[in-house]
Amino acid sequence: MTTTPASAEDRSDRSAVRVLLRLWPYVRPVRVRLFSAAGVAIVASCTGLVIPLVLKWMVDGPVADRDPAGVWLGALYLLLLGLAEALLFGLRRWLVARPLSRVEADMRADLYRRLQRLPVAFHDRWPSGQLLSRGTTDLMLLRMFLAFPLTFLLVNAVTILVGVVILVLQDWTLGLVLLGPAVPVMVTCVIFERRYAHVARLAQDQVGDLTTVVEESVLGIRIIKGFGRHRSQAHAFRELTRELRGTELRKAGLLATIWGVIVTLPELSIGAALVLGTVQVADGNLSAGTLVAFLSTALALRWPVESIGFLLAMSQEAATATERYFEVMDETPEEETPFRGAGNCATSPHAPAPDNDGIRFSTVSFRYPDAPPDSPPILEDIDLHIRPGESMALVGATGTGKTTLTALVPRLHEVTSGHITLDGEDITAMSRKTLRALVAVAFEEPTLFSASVGENVLMGAEHSAGQPELERALAVAQADFTYALPQGTDTQVGEQGLSLSGGQRQRLALARAVVGKPRFLVLDDPLSALDVHTEAAVEAALRHVLADTTALIVAHRPSTVLLADRVALLSGGRITAVGTHHELLRTNAEYAHLMSGADHQGDER
């Protein structure tokens, strides 16, 4: 399965350190507590290295001299050192808990804000499961990395360095024996890091694919059940889980390999040092206390050394999670789209409109951003003028680009060439906030959110809108059914509004479009799911709304076309005819054919 546009890139030259440094802006506000936690952990770890020195003193002193008081004093020292080490590690945990939860929350909030500001073209390209996994699984991995591996990579490095110094000072020959595996261990770590990075990225992308399938299956459960496709969906899910399982097993295999090398070689060197040290003690060249301290220090260094593979693995997964997070954050949001200029319009975005000109398309062409350069445009040289207060019906065969044309007005997509003006002002000279306050939209496929009926409708108005505006909009959309719901307009409609019928959802979407009394209204076949009688009632109420606005209405049926003052025929990506409904019926064969088919469908209905 294709995951994201970035998943196929070559990352052979990627630096995990350079990637992880991108987290610094989020870490910087809590750096004091994180650095303090790292310092406390270093002190705690080094405290543990003092214990072997106390053992040396005890063996060569009180134990050799048979001094019970000295033995009890040494035991007290060991107990105090153990308690100090435990308390320091507990303090480290307390220091990092609160700031890291803040870092994760800030990153999740920034990701959500960026997703809201990214253009529709971005969301068309990216599977939703990939975006969900970045906001959940990836951020969880980053929090875990900042809480443990990041600190202990530093702590263990300092601990190993201090421990090696202590070992060499105890006996340099035994110290060299223990340092023997250092080179092969480092070579193994370099090879492991490179291979694990690739597998970690693959696994996280596959988790995103799996999330996408689960989400689609839940949202499309009615289709799956209606067509009896649960077995094929389950098979597809099993295939993805099998691929993910294989990838996770590859990760486990790599971890097992490095773990085996890192554990085996140091253990062999400790065994060799034990044999050599025992011989030296027997020959009188080394004290028993020194050998005990040496071996205790070596054993204390086992965890810092053996954890290298585990820490490197978590670091690579964190680097991959960081990379995936910033793949989204690096996308250019809508407000940062390069200014195209208004051509013959030099109006400031905040200046009053130079004239009352309605909606005007001037030689507008559009091609999707990811379309091949040599592919024909979806829309080409569109010239269309909707006069102030006029309603224009947009008619055309399926696939001619009607919905795409309506999406250009609120800048859900950017025109490839040409200009669109509202009352003489180029829409690219306006901020999107200003533009979308002027233009209200209702799509053919109505989208409702997991909120109340009232909240869904009032989403289309300014914050000042209240119950009177809500009731007026529901009346226009003939959505009186909402008052019969269990809690009236406070009833929760559920995810995607699937607890309502298609016609009910469409009426609520229409109410949302008209509740704010917009200056410009764009309706994409807003009555397609309504029965004949409800459609007639909605049209009667909608005529009063259209009298006070400038509207572009995608229409497929004569009844909807008759709502408009004029009609534009879209054919082959171009406007081929403009006139009233009756004029086009007489003069345009294609339009007459489209309307005759619509009439026939209406009769059948």
pLDDT digits (tens, 9 = 90+) for 462-519: 666 677 888 888 888 888 888 888 888 888 886 666 667 777 888 888 888 888 888 8
Beta-strand pair 425-426/359-366: unpaired
pLDDT digits (tens, 9 = 90+) for 483-497: 888 888 888 886 666
Give the count of beta carbons closer than 10 Å to the beta carbon of residue 120.
Answer: 14
Least-confidence region, from 32-36, 278-282, 293-297, 334-338? 334-338
Do 97-333 and 359-604 share a fold? no
Helix (H) or strand (E) holding 365: strand 359-366
The domain spans of the chain are 97-333, 359-604
Beta-strand pair 520-524/550-554: parallel
What kind of architecture, by CATH, is found in domain 97-333?
Answer: Up-down Bundle (1.20)
**Which among 539, 557, 556, 546 has a CA at the least distance from the CA of 521?**
546
What kind of architecture, by CATH, is found in domain 359-604?
Answer: 3-Layer(aba) Sandwich (3.40)
Mean per-residue pLDDT, 417-446: 87
pLDDT digits (tens, 9 = 90+) for 565-595: 999 999 988 999 999 999 999 999 998 888 8
Mean per-residue pLDDT, 393-411: 89
Average pLDDT, the chain: 81
C-alpha–C-alpha distance, residues 329 and 322, integer Å = 10
**CB 216, CB 492: distance < 8 Å:** no
Q: For residue 250, how far is the Cα from the chain centroid?
A: 26
Rg over CA atoms, the chain: 35
pLDDT digits (tens, 9 = 90+) for 518-558: 889 998 887 776 777 777 777 787 887 888 889 999 888 88
Distances (CA, A) of 209 to 114, 160, 215, 231: 21, 41, 10, 19
pLDDT digits (tens, 9 = 90+) for 126-158: 888 888 888 888 898 898 888 888 888 888 888
Beta-strand pair 359-366/417-422: antiparallel
| 3-class DSSP state of 574 | strand
pTM of this structure: 0.73
Which residues, 6+ apart, have CB-to-CB distance to 441 below 8 Å? 406, 409, 410, 513, 521, 522, 523, 524
Residue 343 has pLDDT above 50, yes or no: no
Distances (CA, A) of 325 to 18, 194, 311, 316, 333: 14, 20, 21, 14, 15
